[in-house]
């Protein structure tokens, strides 16, 4: 409505057509001119669309990589939407951003590539997450197993018996027709078709129409299936040679089923007796582990762990920060981002606490390993007393009354925060004594007041790293006495 043009970039011709139909339907009440640009269009049609774009006669253009060609020019591009962002290379995205320096860009994906996710986490990009699934959807039941014809036969038969349809992902174009014949022999009642990216637009369109109309109920296809195809009646997917696919790819492929209220099934298979490398094994484990709704973000996080975050200013989309280490890199990057935004950078002081107190999460209190790690992480990330209080309430709410060891863990987190405020860098227990090492530049405890309160139970040592030695009154109340010592006004 602001006299600017919108470019909607998608990775495949099938998805471009699907989105074009959806846009036409949504915008039919408005005076908005919409076109689609992909290889389904003839050369003459493409030339006509490019000409209209340049003259500003098209408001919304939906297109594949064809939009990135040199001959495509806009009169006044204002907004770029990149759908299925993980399918585009860095070069592609930089190309389209060069069209106009002040273009607003919205990228959408269920599984952002490590580089994009990392840029969002550290604050270079804004990020918004959708966690709520559509009404009546159920998580896809996922099986990761060795390829077995009997399992394939049973999975297809089971789906056909409930009048459903099956996707079979087979990523070898040259032998896909032979594979389709094998499936027909294996399940004679199945009506098998196949589709791949080397087919003409008309052939692909006809096959997809046949599948939508249920004239085909088992569709063999390559990874062209990955992006956005929406067929609610297809609720079983079988993936062959899954170890050769990326983690985001597997997640997207699994997302082609389970798009209605029916229970959907995914069979992620790999060659029998094949020795799978460590990275592929991690990917398969992750796809099996993350099945609940909203897992795309977790999958992307795991992908970030497996592949690294990559170069933010170059063209590499993944790769590890071998030179400085990931934590240091994130810290440095975070500081630079804050500096550019004019936010004051607080120096993060790590406080060492070594005292004779049992502080851990017992197995009989939280049995699940991942839940236990999550609670430890949450406690470690506490920065204010309010955070500690919230975590305490959350733990009690989820797991019941806290044992003494967990209570001690939270007390130590509280002591760390108070010690940081007072300029103390280390708290160490030696027998009946607690030694508080402090930074003389920002130490704010009143030594005279401490001597008045504790008299001969404390000793001040002005060394290179000055410290105060405090003699405990009762070894059973170590945490309580430390807290009282720190809170002397």
State the CATH number of the domain containing residue 477.
3.90.1150.50
∠ Cα 122 125 128 (to 5°):
100
Tokens representing 177 are: 């027709």
More confident residue, 6 or 468: 6
Q: Where are the alpha helices (DSSP H) in 381-467?
A: 385-399, 404-422, 447-454
> Which tokens in the block code for residue 149?
């014809």
Do 145 and 103 belong together in one domain?
A: no
Query: Angle formed by the axes of helices 404-422 and 385-399, to 10°?
Result: 170
Domain stops at, among 239, 261, 291: 291
Please tell me the predicted confidence (pLDDT) of residue 413: 87
- 29 DSSP assignment: T
Geometric angle at alpha carbon 183, from 178 and 188, rounded to 5°: 125
pLDDT of residue 213: 87
Whether the CB-CB separation of 120 and 126 falls below 8 Å is answered with: yes
Q: Is 295 exposed, middle or buried (0-12, 13-18, 19+ CB in 10 A)?
A: buried
Report if residue 317 sits inside a domain: no
- pLDDT for position 160: 94
Q: Quickly count: other Cβ atoms within 10 Å of residue 79's Cβ.
A: 16
pLDDT in tens, 398-426: 888 899 989 888 888 888 888 888 888 88
CA-closest candidate to residue 300, choices 114, 151, 449: 114
Kind of pairing between the strands at 60-63 and 5-9: parallel
Average pLDDT over residues 129-152: 82
pLDDT of residue 310: 47
Q: What's the confidence (pLDDT) of residue 59?
A: 96
173, 41: one domain: no
* Cα–Cα distance, 159 to 165 (Å, whole number): 6
The reported pLDDT for the residue numbered 113 is 55
* Nearest in space to 236 (alpha carbons), one of 332, 174, 160, 328: 160
Q: Are residues 419 and 462 in the same domain?
A: yes
Q: Check if the beta carbon of residue 440 is closer than 8 Å to that of residue 411.
A: no
Of 184 and 116, the one with more pLDDT:
184
Is the predicted pLDDT of residue 51 greater than 90, yes or no? yes
β-partners of residue 8 are 62, 81
Q: Are residue 16 and residue 85 in the same domain, yes or no?
A: yes
**Residue 344 in domain:** no
Q: How far apart are CA 332 and CA 111, in angstroms?
A: 26
Both 147 and 104 in one domain: the answer is no
pLDDT at position 58, please? 95
Last residue of a domain, one of 291, 316, 333: 291
The answer to the question of residue 306 being in a domain is: no
Please give the pLDDT value at position 321: 44
Residue 1 has pLDDT above 90, yes or no: no
Cα–Cα distances in angstroms (integers) from residue 90 to residues 35, 94, 305, 317, in the given order: 25, 6, 20, 7
286 and 222 within one domain? yes
DSSP 8-class letter at 440: T
Residues 71, 153, single domain; the answer is no
Contact in structure between 479 and 409 (CB atoms under 8 Å)? no
What are the phi and psi torsion angles at 383 (to 5°)? Answer: -120, -20
Residue 11 within any structural domain of the chain: yes
Domain that holds residue 480: 352-486
pLDDT at 52 over 90: yes
- Domain CATH for 243: 3.40.50.300
- For CA atoms 449, 452, 458, 463, the dihedral sign is positive
Tens of pLDDT, residues 196-249: 878 877 788 788 888 888 999 999 988 877 655 678 899 999 999 988 887 767
Question: Given 3-state DSSP classes, what are the helix, strand and coil percentages for the chain, each rounded to the nearest 5?
Answer: 45, 15, 40
pLDDT in tens, 419-435: 888 888 888 888 888 88
Q: Are residues 58 and 190 in the same domain?
A: no
Report which of residues 383 and 303 the model is more confident about: 383
229 in the same domain as 149: yes
If one counts the domains in the chain, the total is 3
- Report the run of H or E that residue 167 belongs to, with start and end: strand 165-169
Please give the pLDDT value at position 190. 94
In angstroms, the CA 59 to CA 36 distance is 11
pLDDT confidence bin for 12, thresholds 50/70/90:
confident
Does the structure show a pLDDT above 70 at 303? no
Name residue 234's beta-bridge partners: 165
Distances (CA, A) of 482 to 57, 414, 424, 426: 74, 11, 12, 12
* 417 vs 461: CA distance, rounded Å: 24
Q: What's the mean pLDDT when you consider all of the chain?
A: 80
pTM of the predicted structure, to 2 decimals? 0.51
Q: Do residues 135 and 343 make contact, with C-beta atoms less than 8 angstroms apart?
A: no
> Quick check: is 336 in a domain?
no
C-alpha radius of gyration, the chain, whole number: 30
Question: Does residue 271 sit in the same domain as residue 148?
Answer: yes
Regarding whether 283 and 400 lie in a shared domain, the answer is: no
In a domain, 319, yes or no: no
Q: Given a cut of 70, is residue 95 above it in pLDDT?
A: yes
The two beta strands, 467-471 and 458-461, are: antiparallel
* Together in a domain, 281 and 146: yes
Name, in order, each residue with C-beta under 8 angstroms of 414's C-beta and a sequence gap of 6 or more: 385, 388, 483
Is 70 exceeded by the pLDDT of residue 389? Answer: yes
The predicted structure's pLDDT at residue 27 = 93
Of the residues 242, 262, 291, which one is the last residue of a structural domain? 291
| Beta strand residue intervals within 182-313, DSSP E | 192-195, 218-221, 234-239, 265-270
Name the maximum alpha-carbon separation found in the chain: 96
CA gap 378, 372 in Å, rounded: 10
Residue 363 token pair: 């197995």
Is residue 361 in some structural domain? Answer: yes
Query: Is 341 inside a domain boundary?
Result: no
């Amino acid at each position: 409505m602001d006299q600017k043009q919108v470019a909607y970039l998608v990775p495949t011709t099938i998805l471009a057509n699907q989105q074009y139909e959806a846009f036409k339907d949504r915008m039919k009440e408005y005076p908005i001119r919409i076109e689609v640009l992909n290889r389904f269009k003839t050369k003459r049609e493409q030339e006509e669309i490019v000409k209209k774009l340049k003259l500003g006669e098209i408001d919304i253009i939906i297109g594949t990589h064809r939009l990135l060609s040199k001959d495509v020019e806009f009169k006044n591009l204002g907004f770029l939407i990149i759908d299925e962002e993980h399918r585009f290379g860095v070069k592609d995205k930089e190309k389209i951003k060069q069209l106009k320096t002040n273009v607003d860009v919205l990228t959408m994906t269920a599984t952002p590539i490590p580089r994009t996710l990392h840029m969002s986490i550290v604050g270079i990009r804004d990020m918004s997450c959708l966690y709520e699934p559509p009404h009546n959807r159920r998580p896809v039941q996922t099986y990761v197993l060795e390829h077995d014809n009997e399992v394939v036969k049973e999975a297809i038969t089971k789906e056909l018996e409930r009048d459903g349809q099956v996707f079979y992902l087979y990523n070898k174009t040259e032998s896909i027709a032979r594979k389709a014949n094998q499936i027909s022999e294996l399940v004679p009642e199945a009506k098998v078709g196949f589709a791949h990216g080397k087919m003409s637009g008309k052939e692909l369109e006809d096959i997809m129409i046949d599948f939508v109309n249920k004239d085909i109920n088992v569709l063999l296809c390559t990874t062209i299936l990955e992006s956005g195809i929406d067929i609610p009646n297809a609720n079983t997917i079988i993936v062959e040679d899954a170890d050769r696919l990326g983690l985001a790819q597997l997640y997207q492929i699994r997302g082609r089923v389970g798009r209605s209220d029916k229970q959907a099934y995914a069979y992620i298979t790999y060659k029998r007796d094949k020795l799978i490398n460590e990275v592929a094994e991690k990917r398969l484990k992750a796809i099996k582990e993350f099945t609940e709704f909203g897992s795309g973000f977790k999958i992307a996080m795991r992908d970030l762990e497996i592949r690294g975050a990559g170069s933010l200013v170059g063209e590499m989309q993944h790769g590890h920060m071998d030179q400085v280490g990931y934590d240091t890199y994130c810290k440095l990057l975070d500081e630079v981002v804050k500096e550019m935004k004019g936010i004051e950078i607080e120096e993060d002081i790590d406080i060492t606490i070594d005292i004779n107190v049992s502080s851990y999460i017992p197995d009989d209190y939280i049995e699940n390993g991942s839940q236990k790690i999550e609670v430890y992480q949450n406690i470690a990330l506490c920065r204010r007393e309010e955070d500690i209080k919230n975590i305490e309430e959350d733990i009690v709410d989820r797991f019941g009354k806290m044992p003494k060891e967990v209570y001690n863990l939270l007390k130590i987190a509280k002591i760390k925060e108070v010690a940081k405020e007072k300029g103390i860098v280390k708290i160490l227990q030696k027998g009946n004594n607690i030694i508080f090492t402090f930074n003389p530049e920002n130490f704010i405890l009143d030594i005279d007041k401490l001597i008045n309160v504790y008299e001969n139970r404390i000793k001040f040592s002005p060394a290179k790293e000055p410290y105060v030695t405090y003699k405990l009154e009762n070894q059973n109340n170590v945490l309580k006495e430390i807290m009282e010592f720190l809170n002397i006004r």
